[in-house]
């Protein structure tokens, strides 16, 4: 113990009903766990106990005396705890007794109520049983009375029916005598009718056979004609495929194709200018106007360099007021895909017409549209050439620009009309083919039905129980799931 004794009390601060007391200890001192976890009352008892120990420590130095004092204090605490426990047990037993008596009283009251309810239910049940017994007796009496009435009515009806049966038997005996006569008459009339029916059936059978033979002959003729067309088309396709393998042959085929349809449908005579430099593929004089034609039969989109080449040829031939650039199968680069026909005014007065996927459009309408554009451009060029003045030519340029709007609108409407007519043609063609095949199938089924009817009447019909294996195979193919393939565009 050091010579400088420091007081352990550090101060007291009140906070409402409680207060905070500070004590000073060594830095190495650790508080016991019991003090840290105890409540306020236990802590106050521990402080009181420690105060007594400090007082006893000042007067007592002997260890024996310290231990005896500590034991006396513990005895006092034990006696206090025993008194408190006895009081708690007594109050708990009293509370339990009062609660138990209340529960027993409520159970007895509920038992009495249940007994009274059961008695009332029994009395009601006895009353209902008495009423049901009375009703049962009444129903039994009514049933016996009804049974006796039904028996009497049935006996009367049986007597009447017996009389009627006797009368019918007499009538049957009288009718059986005339049955033989009626049978002979029916037999003779049936034989006459059979003869008439056989004669009519033979005539109808002959007529149906003739009509069936005629239908078969027509069908065979149509099939032969169709086979000839198919073979011709196959040969044409083979030659086209062989020639399409070479780009030069493909270009020549495209030029000849456009040249032939232009001459057949529009009476245009196209001159081959492919060997003349900077003169496009063909030229023609239509409505007394020089026209240049550039025909492309590519399997891919036409590149922009071909378009620039076409415009260069137009520029070198200022005397030609209009040029037609036609792509038979594909699109043209740099042009709107939604507008297969478009025009462009170049070199102040020259009109360049671009036609994409010509073969997908309606040939008649497309060629007539080109013819109308040639007429319009030739009219404007005649007006310009008649004036001959540059200033007046620039004045006419405004008119051309105004008219260009209506021309482009006319072209777009014509393109939509061409597409609509083409779709209508496809629909009508499919409708005609389906109706033709349906008509042939109906005629075949009708002829088969008439033949079977005639065979049944003549006695030549034989039931065929064999199953057609082709029908079974076709049905199985229909049931099989179809494999998903790429759609053809």
Report the candidate in 313, 343, 333, 329 with the shortest Cα–Cα distance to residue 407. Answer: 343
Residue 287 near residue 378 (C-beta atoms within 8 A): yes
DSSP string computed for 162-218:
HHHHHHHHHHHHHHHHHHHHHHHHHHHHHHHHHHHHHHHHHHHHHHHHHHHHHHHHH
In the predicted structure, residue 461 carries a pLDDT above the cut 70: no
Residue 46 lies in a domain: no
Q: What digits encode the pLDDT tens for the residues 52-100?
A: 877 776 665 555 555 665 667 677 777 887 888 888 878 877 887 787 7
Q: What digits encode the pLDDT tens for the residues 309-341?
A: 999 999 999 889 999 999 999 999 988 888 888
Residue 391 lies in a domain: yes
Q: What are the CA-CA distances from residue 265 to residues 60, 75, 262, 355, 359 (Å)?
A: 145, 136, 6, 18, 15
Residue 354 lies in a domain: yes
**What is the maximum alpha-carbon separation in the chain?**
165
Q: What is the mean pLDDT of residues 354-377?
A: 89
Q: What are the CA-CA distances from residue 245 to residues 239, 242, 309, 414 (Å)?
A: 10, 5, 25, 35
How confident is the model at residue 263, as a pLDDT? 92
59: tokens are 């007067």
In the predicted structure, residue 239 carries a pLDDT above the cut 50: yes
Question: Residue 327 pairs with which residues in a beta bridge?
Answer: 296
Residue 345 lies in a domain: yes
Number of other residues whose CB lies within 10 A of the CB of residue 302: 23
How confident is the model at residue 362, as a pLDDT? 85
Residue 381 near residue 317 (C-beta atoms within 8 A): no
In the predicted structure, residue 472 carries a pLDDT above the cut 50: no
Q: What digits encode the pLDDT tens for the residues 119-147?
A: 888 888 888 888 988 888 888 888 888 88
Q: What is the mean pLDDT of residues 342-361?
A: 88
Domain that holds residue 335: 247-434
In the predicted structure, residue 19 carries a pLDDT above the cut 80: yes
Residue 110 lies in a domain: no
Q: What digits encode the pLDDT tens for the residues 373-382?
A: 898 888 877 7
In the predicted structure, residue 476 carries a pLDDT above the cut 90: no
d(CA 293, CA 301): 18
What band does 242 get if pLDDT is binned at 50, 70 and 90? low
Q: What's the distance, Cα to Cα, between the start and end of the chain in Å?
A: 109
Q: Tell the burial category of 416 from Cβ atoms under 10 Å away from its Cβ (0-12, 13-18, 19+).
A: exposed
d(CA 49, CA 445): 124
Domains of the chain: total: 1
Q: What digits encode the pLDDT tens for the residues 246-284?
A: 566 787 888 899 999 999 999 999 999 988 888 898 999
- State the pairing for strand pair 18-23/322-327: unpaired
What band does 473 get if pLDDT is binned at 50, 70 and 90? low
Q: What digits encode the pLDDT tens for the residues 22-36?
A: 888 888 888 888 888
Residue 90 lies in a domain: no
Q: What are the strands of the beta sheet with 289-296, ordered from one edge?
A: 271-272, 282-286, 289-296, 322-327, 350-355, 341-346
431: tokens are 């409708």
| Burial annotation 248-270 (CB, 10 A radius, 16+ → b, else e) | eebbbbbbebbbebbeeebebeb
How confident is the model at residue 333, as a pLDDT? 92
Residue 258 near residue 326 (C-beta atoms within 8 A): yes
Give the DSSP H/E element, type plus range, for residue 253.
helix 247-266
Three-state DSSP class for residue 344:
strand
Residue 403 lies in a domain: yes
- State the pairing for strand pair 350-355/322-327: parallel
How confident is the model at residue 378, as a pLDDT? 83
How confident is the model at residue 488, as a pLDDT? 39
How confident is the model at residue 2, as a pLDDT? 44
Q: What is the mean pLDDT of residues 398-411?
A: 66
In the predicted structure, residue 484 carries a pLDDT above the cut 60: no
d(CA 437, CA 429): 12
Q: What digits encode the pLDDT tens for the residues 201-220?
A: 777 777 777 877 787 888 78
| SS3 of the chain: helix, strand, coil, percent, to 5 | 70, 10, 20
d(CA 54, CA 74): 16
294: tokens are 């550039």
Three-state DSSP class for residue 19:
strand
Q: Tell the burial category of 369 from Cβ atoms under 10 Å away from its Cβ (0-12, 13-18, 19+).
A: buried
Enumerate helices (H) and strands (E) in the chain, giving the number of each. 8, 8
In the predicted structure, residue 386 carries a pLDDT above the cut 70: no
Q: What digits encode the pLDDT tens for the residues 430-446?
A: 888 787 778 778 777 87
Of the chain, the percentage scoring pLDDT greater than 70 comes to 80
Report the candidate in 351, 448, 455, 462 with the shortest Cα–Cα distance to residue 407. Answer: 351
Phi/psi for 361 (5° steps) reads -90, 170
Of 276-280, 361-365, 387-391, 461-465, which range is least confident? 387-391
287: tokens are 């409505």
Residue 146 lies in a domain: no
Q: Which residues 6+ apart lie within 8 Å of 219 measured at CB? A: 440
Report the candidate in 403, 427, 406, 418 with the shortest Cα–Cα distance to residue 369. Answer: 418
Residue 322 near residue 378 (C-beta atoms within 8 A): yes
Q: What is the mean pLDDT of residues 371-399?
A: 69
What mean pLDDT, rounded, does the chain reach?
Answer: 79
Q: What digits encode the pLDDT tens for the residues 135-180?
A: 888 888 888 888 888 888 888 888 888 888 888 888 887 777 777 7
């Amino acid at each position: 113990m050091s010579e400088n004794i420091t007081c352990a009390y550090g101060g007291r601060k009140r906070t409402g009903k409680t207060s905070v007391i500070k004590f000073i200890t060594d830095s190495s001192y650790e508080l016991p766990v019991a003090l840290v976890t105890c409540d306020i009352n236990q802590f106050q008892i521990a402080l009181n106990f420690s105060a007594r120990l400090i007082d006893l420590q000042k007067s007592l130095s002997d260890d024996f005396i310290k231990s005896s004092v500590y034991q006396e204090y513990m005895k006092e605490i034990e006696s206090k705890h025993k008194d408190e426990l006895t009081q708690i047990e007594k109050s708990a037993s009293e509370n339990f007794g009062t609660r138990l008596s209340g529960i027993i009283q409520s159970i007895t009251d509920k038992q009495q109520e249940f007994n009274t309810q059961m008695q009332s239910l029994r009395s009601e049940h006895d009353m209902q049983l008495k009423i049901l017994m009375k009703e049962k007796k009444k129903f039994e009496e009514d049933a016996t009375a009804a049974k006796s009435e039904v028996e009497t009515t049935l006996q009367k009806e049986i007597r009447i029916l017996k009389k009627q049966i006797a009368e019918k038997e007499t009538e049957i005996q009288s009718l059986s005598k005339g049955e033989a006569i009626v049978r002979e008459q029916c037999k003779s009339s049936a034989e006459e009718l059979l003869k008439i029916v056989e004669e009519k059936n033979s005539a109808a059978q002959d007529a149906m056979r003739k009509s069936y033979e005629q239908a078969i002959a027509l069908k065979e003729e149509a099939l032969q004609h169709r086979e000839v067309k198919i073979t011709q088309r196959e040969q044409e396709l083979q030659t086209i495929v062989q020639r399409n393998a070479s780009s030069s042959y493909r270009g020549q085929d495209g030029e000849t194709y456009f040249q032939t349809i232009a001459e057949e449908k529009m009476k245009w005579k196209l001159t081959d200018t492919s060997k003349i430099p900077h003169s496009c593929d063909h030229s023609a004089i239509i409505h007394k106007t020089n026209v240049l034609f550039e025909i492309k039969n590519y399997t891919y989109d036409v590149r922009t360099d071909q378009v620039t080449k076409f415009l260069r040829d137009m520029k070198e031939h200022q005397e030609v007021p209009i040029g037609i650039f036609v792509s038979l199968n594909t699109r043209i680069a740099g042009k709107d895909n939604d507008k297969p026909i478009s025009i462009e005014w170049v070199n102040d007065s020259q009109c360049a017409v671009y036609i994409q996927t010509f073969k997908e459009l309606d040939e008649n309408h497309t060629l007539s549209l080109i013819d109308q554009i040639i007429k319009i451009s030739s009219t404007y060029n005649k007006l310009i050439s008649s004036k001959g003045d540059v200033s007046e030519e620039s004045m006419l340029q405004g008119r051309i620009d105004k008219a260009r709007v209506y021309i482009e609108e006319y072209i777009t409407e014509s393109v939509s009309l061409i597409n609509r007519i083409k779709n209508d043609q496809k629909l009508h063609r499919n409708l005609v083919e389906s109706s033709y095949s349906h008509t042939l199938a109906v005629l075949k089924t009708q002829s088969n039905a008439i033949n079977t009817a005639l065979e049944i009447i003549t006695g030549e019909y034989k039931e065929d129980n064999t199953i057609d294996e082709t029908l079974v195979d076709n049905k199985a193919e229909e049931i099989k799931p179809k494999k998903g393939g790429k759609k053809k565009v």
